[in-house]
Amino acid sequence: MKTISVRLIMTFVLLNLAVLAFADPDKVWVTSEDATLQSERSTSSETVATLKRGTQLSVSTFENRWYKVIAPDGKTGWIFRGKVSAEPPADIASDSGSGGIGGLLGGLTGSSIEADAADSSRSIRGLSPEAQEYANQTGTPAESRAALDMVLSLTMDKSDIDLFLKEGKIGEYAY
Amino acid sequence: MHKPHVDRPASAPRIRRRDFIRLAGPFTLLLAAGPAFAFKLFDIIDPEQKNKDLRRTRQVLDGVTGMAQSIEGIDYQSEFTIGETLALEGFQRYGQPVKDQRLQRYVNLLGNAAARNSLRPDIPYYFVVVDSPLYNAFACPGGIIFLSSSLVKGMGDEAELACVLAHEVGHVAHKHALQSIQRAKFFEGAAKVGTVGMKGEQGQKYREMVGDLQTVLFDKGLDRNMEFEADRSGMDFAYRTGYDPAGLIRVLEMLARQQATATHKGSWFSTHPPLSERISRCKAAMADYPDAGEMATAKTRFLSYRDPS
């Protein structure tokens, strides 16, 4: 019984490893927020589509830090290297039941929150009631509370960040 | 007669090397395969749990995944609230935000740009430069990240700053601080911060947990392997954004030059692994970035914020 069980387990794992070893090299996954598909190798070209994190893309070619890809809906375009990875995001991989070590450690290495929760979290302003209560209980000085309020008021939206990168000619804006 | 308690009497059987090897193999392989499937496989092979080896392997695997679940069970809002309270302590320990709002906004833009390409891009991140003579940076759970003014002054370009901010984002993404205190009593029962309040016994446990976090982040430092992992993540997130990942090496080398004369208590010198080892590991990692020399450093823009006229 022992021998059979160990053999079964080893066979299963070897099959898993084989799948990983022969993973399709022509696939990439969107791993960044706010990724877009462009008609040319430039952010100034037409935006073909906005891609959701975790979207699998088929690679046609790779030129000067840009992938030419085909999206699941058949749309073709270019995406900057920094926005994709050869493996799907760990949390999304575990959610979809693809298993693997990423599935086990998904909660530790990635975000376990749903997209909706993340969107609502962006509206946080000022100290939470719990943090205020903690401050009251511990006699936190007013200036530290004011400092945290100031920090939490500094929210950057997508357009601010894009403009910042564009002005500095950083990453996808370097071309 | 009173007998002193011992964990394991000398006469108790020890785990034999053969047993260890017999268990270690399947356990490691099952971990790689995925725990959910592994448990199903156990049920199929040995539904009545009569097999001693499989029963032991199941117990060990259950312990490991249970540990992961205890941290995973914390919802984002609770994680962020823990970060907020730690930040309140951080201002008292390290100083108030510098008054230069232009610099604060710049650091937030850069930090969030790198965070978009991190392992955890779907939460907001907040960065603050505090007025402090210490060379220091740390990340509170949930994404509030502190950076000392001295550390910023010691840097030479935007890539260096991007790498340091991305290093801290890496700690948040990997939930390193929470992992360090996951055995705190507060986490028993996977409590949500918002539902327990700050008064009574649970409030006391919460304050003890925040105290533990302060000890880890402000005094003892995180596990060295967590720091190495954050270094690697920092280089990677910065590179994916478009910055030279060698910026982190330049910062570490700057710190090494300052090490002899700088204050160590409560700084990166006392809470992080030896700089020489970090530099060595980061240099080895540069092999993964063959076009790093073509990546941005944005020195001029950085200096316009570091040394405003």
Give the pLDDT mean for B90-96.
95
Q: Residue A105 domain-assigned? A: no
Same domain, A78 and A28: yes
Q: Which residue of A has its CA nearest to B182?
A: A108
Query: To the nearest whole number, what is the mean pLDDT of chain B?
Result: 81
> B113 and A108: CB-CB below 8 Å?
no
Q: In this model, does residue B57 exceed pLDDT 80?
A: no
How many domains are there within chain A?
2
Q: Which residue of B has its CA nearest to A5?
A: B45
Query: Which residue type is seen at A141?
Result: P
Q: Residue A1 domain-assigned? A: no
Higher pLDDT, B203 or B275: B275
- CB distance B233 to B119 below 8 Å: yes
Q: Give B271's pLDDT tier (boundaries 50, 70, 90).
A: confident
Q: What is the pTM of this model?
A: 0.75
Give the pLDDT mean for A5-33.
67
Phi-psi map region of B304: left, alpha, beta (phi>0 left; psi -120 to 50 alpha): alpha
Q: Give B200's pLDDT tier (boundaries 50, 70, 90).
A: confident
> B92 and A10: CB-CB below 8 Å?
no
Give the per-residue pLDDT at A122.
40
Q: Which domain holds residue A130?
A: 124-166
Which of B109, B130, B199 is the best mutation test for A, with the most CBs of A within 10 A? B109
Residue A50 bridge partners (DSSP): A36
User: And the tokens for B272?
Assistant: 């992080």
Q: Residue A119 domain-assigned? A: no
Give the per-residue pLDDT at B51.
65
Q: Give B272's pLDDT tier (boundaries 50, 70, 90).
A: confident
Burial class (CB in 10 A: 0-12, 13-18, 19+), B9: exposed
Pick the range with the lowest mean pLDDT from A116-125, A150-159, B184-193, B260-269: A116-125
Find chain A residues with C-beta within 8 A of B291's C-beta.
65
Q: Which residue of B has its CA nearest to A138?
A: B207
Give the per-residue pLDDT at A102.
31
Q: Residue A96 domain-assigned? A: no
Most confident option among B67-71, B150-154, B262-266: B150-154
Give the pLDDT mean for A34-39.
93
Q: In this model, does residue B290 exceed pLDDT 60?
A: yes
The angle, 0 to 180 degrees and rounded to 10, between the axes of the packed helices A101-109 and B17-33 is 80
Give the Cα separation of B159 and B247 in Å (integer). 5
**Residue (of B50, B47, B53, B85) closest to B193 by Cα position:** B85
Give the per-residue pLDDT at A34.
81
Higher pLDDT, B172 or B216: B172
Q: Residue A155 domain-assigned? A: yes
Give the per-residue pLDDT at A174.
92
Q: Quick: pLDDT tens for B94-145.
A: 999 999 999 999 999 999 999 999 999 999 999 999 999 999 999 999 999 9
Q: Residue A5 domain-assigned? A: no
Give the Cα separation of B126 and B119 in Å (integer). 16
Give the per-residue pLDDT at A95.
53
Which of A44, A66, A88 finishes a domain? A88
Give the per-residue pLDDT at B61.
47
- % of chain B surpassing 70 pLDDT: 72
Q: In this model, does residue A163 exceed pLDDT 60?
A: yes
- CB distance A127 to A148 below 8 Å: yes
> A108 and B45: CB-CB below 8 Å?
no
Assembly ipTM:
0.75
Higher pLDDT, B48 or B36: B48
Q: Residue A118 domain-assigned? A: no
**Residue (of A122, A109, A117) closest to B178 by Cα position:** A109
Higher pLDDT, B244 or B58: B244
Q: Which residue of A has its CA nearest to B75?
A: A113
Q: Give B264's pLDDT tier (boundaries 50, 70, 90).
A: confident
Query: Which residue type is seen at B172?
Result: V
Which of A88, A106, A140 finishes a domain? A88
Q: Give A57's pLDDT tier (boundaries 50, 70, 90).
A: very high
> B88 and A148: CB-CB below 8 Å?
yes
Same domain, A30 and A76: yes
Q: Residue A101 domain-assigned? A: no
Phi-psi map region of B36: left, alpha, beta (phi>0 left; psi -120 to 50 alpha): alpha
> A5 and B54: CB-CB below 8 Å?
yes
- CB distance B141 to B176 below 8 Å: no
| Beta pairing class for B144-148 and B126-130 | parallel
Q: Quick: pLDDT tens for A66-117.
A: 999 999 999 999 999 999 999 998 877 655 433 333 333 333 333 334 333 4
Find chain B residues with C-beta within 8 A of A33's C-beta.
116, 121-122
Tell me the domain boundaries of chain B. 18-72, 80-306
Q: Give the containing element (helix H, strand E) for A50.
A: strand A47-51
Q: Give the containing element (helix H, strand E) for A28.
A: strand A27-30
Give the Cα separation of B275 and B249 in Å (integer). 10
Query: Which CATH number do you get for residue A76?
Result: 2.30.30.40
Q: In this model, does residue B156 exceed pLDDT 90?
A: yes
Pick the range with the lowest mean pLDDT from B22-26, B143-147, B292-296: B22-26
Give the per-residue pLDDT at A92.
72
Query: To the nearest whole number, what is the mean pLDDT of chain A?
Result: 78
Give the per-residue pLDDT at A27.
94
Place of tokens 């935007």: B158
Find chain A residues with C-beta within 8 A of B36's C-beta.
99, 103
Q: Quick: pLDDT tens for B241-253.
A: 999 999 999 999 9
Q: Give A158's pLDDT tier (boundaries 50, 70, 90).
A: very high
Find chain A residues with C-beta within 8 A of B206's C-beta.
134
Give the per-residue pLDDT at B186.
73
Which of A71, A88, A105 finishes a domain? A88
Give the per-residue pLDDT at B219.
86
Closest Cβ opposite residue A170 in set B25, B26, B298: B298
